[in-house]
Structure 1
Amino acid sequence: MQTQKILVSGQVQGVGFRWSARQLAQQLGVTGTVQNLPTGQVAIVASASAKVLSDFTHQLQRGLAPWIQVTDLAITDLPTRRFNEFRIII
């Protein structure tokens, strides 16, 4: 089990990115949180196995929908955290 902070840049606010990220996380078995930041970026804290996190970040980078444009992912390893689910922070 690993935990990563993923800072997502691009056209990711107001386009359903958080909802789409939550759907993907639930499909892959990732737990954690996703929230909009005042900078226009989205912050994700995600916990799963290394392989699952790699798949998750790869799919985020590829794009979750045609109207969502991810230009950059900055990934930082964090101390392992356990979450019960993957939730959107409003």
Structure 2
Amino acid sequence: DVDWLVSVDSTITRAHQHAAGARKKGQALQKRRSLGRSRGGLTTKIHLACDGHGRPLSFVVTGGNINDCTQFEQVLAQISVRRPG
């Protein structure tokens, strides 16, 4: 029973200064990084899609310096709802 009015938004969370202290091994780690530099320091951004009742349908975590519009399609592509039966 999903209310198909979908809202997509994001929020930024500051990361602790020691959150980026891990060693970097190869390019694979670079693609999965979810910390970014912004004016406020190290930040993480959570892009979230919710239904009309405020229940989360999908989310993507990126660095705080990633623009919202570049992640919009990825957030919507991850929405999946089980069909009864």
Q: TM-score, normalised by structure 1?
A: 0.30
